[in-house]
Amino acid sequence: MVFTVFQVIYNVGIYLFFIITLPYFFVKIITTKKYRGGLIHRLGFLSKEAKNILRKGNIIWVHAVSVGEAQTSFPLIDKLCVRYPEKNIILSTTTVTGQAVAKKWAVRRNRVTVIYFPLDFFHIFHRLFTSYKIDMIIILETEIWPNFLMEAYRHNIPVILANGRISQKSYDGYKKIQYLFAQCTRAIKFFCMQDKADAEKLYRLGIDNKRIIISGNIKYEASAAISVDEKISEAMRFKLNWDENEPVLVAGSTHKGEEEILCQIFNEIRKKIPALKMVLAPRHPERLLDVENILANNNITYLRKTSLDYYDTIDKSPQVILVDTMGELRHIYLLAQVCFIGKSLVPGGGQNILEPASLAKPIVFGKYMDNFVVASKNLLEAKGAVMVNNAEELKNILIDLFLSPEKRNILGNNALKEIKKCCGAIEKILSCVKSIMPE
């Protein structure tokens, strides 16, 4: 077995890092639930169920990271199951929340097994790829793990990067180690990129044009294809005694620094629109206590979403419903007259704007949408969303939209048209899969 200098340095570095930081992670494992989730599996010890599936062979391994990437992979996996009925799918995620959403989705799909993605240690992937026959690996977005990819290359496992994107920050980093980037990505037969700008970055990094495909963004199709459970939103509406014309702001996937702004704006808007309600869904569940303190400090009455289970109906509904469940935001967007997309009013890169767009909901987001540059640009050009630069602009546009049903309808309808227009990425990716799928 021959190792390059880079592989030796990388592996020595990663093992040393693991040993040095072990005390820190040991404390985190004891004190923080998300670090305990799937720990044994992350160390490469797969469940009995996963081992049994892997022993059967005919495996396509799809790797996502968190909730967003996992949900994006669902319609792609469904089509893989139809096109390749003899194949079994391993779906791996990195985060606890991604794992929960993926397992809930996979319950009704007996050919899909969900696992935690192992830590990027050489010995783990060498053992996995030596012990089990993997036909193909599909990576969602930009998960470049050196040992994972280099061992795939060593074992002749073809890899496709699907729904690829490269942020400017990542590109600048890869540019400094361009040769090493090329070495790490030799296993990737096709880079299916979201747009031309991402494709050009790859080309400047030295990737052969024949390996670069501009496929578009799967999230358009995922948003359109994933069914919406109206029972979730209708149950909330019934218990809260909200009618269909209730002025509701759904603030989805909010991040630190945004809840304070939203609560202040909410109180100001209620002076003009007293009936206004808000459904607030923080991106990270571990921040719920902090968000509750923010609501209390702003004298806003609230109730956790799971607390609704204890009521038949509520005579006087709270001003805010705090979402403390995972994987339900898409369904909850149905309650909205207006949707605000989190992680965009403060620097962070934004969150998925396509889910509410596919439901024909009017969308407002901040100026920090680095992770959704093309999607946000397309929606703005289609007049299917509104971007704001600060809290004052957000307040003013929300008041304007809540007071104008016509403007809301125009925004929502334009958003849905844009979603339908931009579908087609999955078929392009499946064409790449077909061209390199082992016989």
Q: What is the pLDDT of residue 29?
A: 77
Name the one residue in this structure whose structure tokens are 């809840």. 259
Domain 37-216+424-436 fold is: Rossmann fold (3.40.50)
Task: Provide the pLDDT confidence category of residue 169 given band limits of 50, 70 and 90.
Answer: confident
pLDDT band for 148, please (50, 70, 90 cuts). very high
Would you state the pLDDT for residue 357?
A: 95
Question: For the chain, what percent of residues have pLDDT higher than 90?
Answer: 72
In this prediction, residue 3 has a pLDDT band, given cuts at 50, 70 and 90, of: low
Taking 70 as the threshold, does the pLDDT of residue 59 lie above it? yes
Sequence-separated (6 or more) residues with CB below 8 Å from residue 297: none
Q: Is the pLDDT of residue 143 over 90?
A: no
Give the DSSP H/E element, type plus range, for residue 33: helix 33-36
Among 139, 136, 125, 62, which Cα is nearest to 439's? Answer: 136
Using 50, 70 and 90 to split pLDDT, how confident is the model at 322?
Answer: very high
Exposure on the CB side of residue 64, measured as CA atoms within 13 A: 28
User: Are 159 and 182 contacting, i.e. CB atoms less than 8 angstroms apart?
Assistant: no
- What residues contact 80, with CB distance under 8 A and at least 6 apart? 60, 62, 87, 89, 430, 433
**Residue 70 parent element (H or E):** helix 67-83
Confidence of residue 152 (pLDDT cuts 50, 70, 90): very high
Sheet of strand 320-322, all strands in order from the earlier edge strand to the far edge: 302-304, 320-322, 277-282, 248-254, 338-341, 363-365, 386-387
- Tell me the C-alpha distance between 207 and 213, whole Å: 11
Q: Where are the domains of the chain?
A: 37-216+424-436, 230-421
Residue % of the chain over a pLDDT of 70: 99
Q: What confidence score (pLDDT) does residue 18 get?
A: 87
Q: What is the pLDDT of residue 46?
A: 92
Nearest-Å Rg of the Cα atoms of the chain is 23
Pick the closest to residue 262 from 341, 332, 333 (CA basis): 341
Give the type of residue at 311.
Answer: Y
* 248 DSSP β-pair partners: 277
Angle (nearest 5°) at CA 61 between 355 and 111:
80
Q: What is the pLDDT of residue 1?
A: 56
Q: Which of 94-103, 332-341, 387-396 has the lowest mean pLDDT?
A: 94-103
pLDDT, one tens digit per residue, over 7-28 is 888 888 888 988 998 888 778 7
CA nearest to 90, candidates 100, 77, 101: 77
Strand pairing class (134-140; 59-63): parallel
* Euclidean distance between CA atoms 262 and 249, whole angstroms: 10
Q: Which of 93-97, 114-118, 245-249, 396-400 has the lowest mean pLDDT?
A: 93-97
pLDDT tens-digit map of 350-365: 999 999 999 999 999 9
Tokens of 127: 């053992």
Provide the 3-class DSSP secondary structure of residue 318.
Answer: coil
Residue range 218-257, pLDDT digits in tens: 988 888 777 788 999 999 999 999 999 999 999 999 999 9
Q: How far is C-alpha 105 from the geometric centre of its chain's CA atoms?
A: 14
Q: What is the mean pLDDT of the chain?
A: 92
Residue 93 pLDDT > 60, yes or no?
yes
> What's the whole-number mean pLDDT along residues 180-203?
93
Domain 230-421 listed as CATH 3.30.420.40: no
90-108: average pLDDT? 92
Phi and psi torsions of 38, nearest 5°: 65, 25
For tokens 């007996």, name the residue.
Answer: 110
Q: What DSSP element (H or E) covers 332?
A: helix 329-332
Residues 6 or more apart in contact with residue 390 via CB below 8 angstroms: none
Pairing relationship of beta strands 386-387 and 363-365 according to DSSP bridges: parallel
Determine the pLDDT at residue 2.
54
> Is 121:46 a contact under the CB 8 Å cutoff?
no
